Amino acid sequence: MQIADRLNTRIRGSGERTLLFAHGFCSTQEVFDRQVEAFAPHYRTVTFDLAGFGASHPSSWHPERHSALEGYAADLVDLIDALDLQRITLVGASMSAMTGLMASVARPERFEGLVFVSGSPRYLNGDGYFGGFDRESLDGFYALVGGSVYWRKAVTDMLLNLQGAETLEDVARSVDCTRTEVAYTAARAIFESDCRCWLARARHPVLVTQTRADEAVPEAVGHYLAQALPDAQLAFLPGRGHLPMRTQPEALNALLSAFLERTAPRAG
């Protein structure tokens, strides 16, 4: 089975430029449905399910390979090569922001730009850096995911942060369908990562965006990314939560459209 099939890849549209959408923790490619609907008429759009999530084939996930973000980045590079994707703007949500950056460093000739949606290079506080989590809170989260039947509700609440609003059923469903072993391994890969050393290696323009009320990625992280990346634009989205592509799709689409216009190659 080829990697595109293992990762349940879907290609829509036929534009010269490619929008490659990569979802985050306990999510699926369906989280980008509103973006695909908006951009497929003018771009080739590519979505897929990360190994272990959504409708990816069980054989795509390996506990050793995917115990670090580099394993997911390697999957992304393999998918780009297999599909011979060119002129890519990668829209990476959450964990896929940093794996997308890693892929762009590995294959810079294939990329035009990067969009980080609720991405973070480091979640653990320390040495003057504020990522939003201390060691005690992270260890508590790992214990919850690894040993409690209630972890799925806790993750859904963290992703949405809607303060009593009705939970989006598709988001809750994607969390509910994630195996505990996958969630625990991915959580440690994400929250123990430190990708700050990758930021200076970015060779493409980056749009950094998130809401100001994100339980996983505080506002300070967006400012840090904008300062640490060589060519970055920071734009905060209205609303709350970690999934603005679902909760604020029109606002995100407007930012993405403007970024694509800014990064389009100029004639002559």
Residues marked active site are found at 94, 214, 242
Say if CB 217 and CB 98 are below 8 A apart.
no
Q: Which alpha helices (DSSP H) does 84-235 contain, by range? A: 95-106, 135-147, 151-160, 169-176, 180-191, 196-199, 219-228
Q: Which of 233, 238, 191, 250 is nearest to 213 (CA)?
A: 238
**Residues 184, 110: Cα–Cα separation, whole Å:** 32
Tokens at residue 23, please?
Answer: 């979802």
C-alpha 174/C-alpha 185 separation (Å) is: 17
Q: How far is CA 260 from the centre of its chain?
A: 18
Which residue is listed with tokens 């089975």? 1
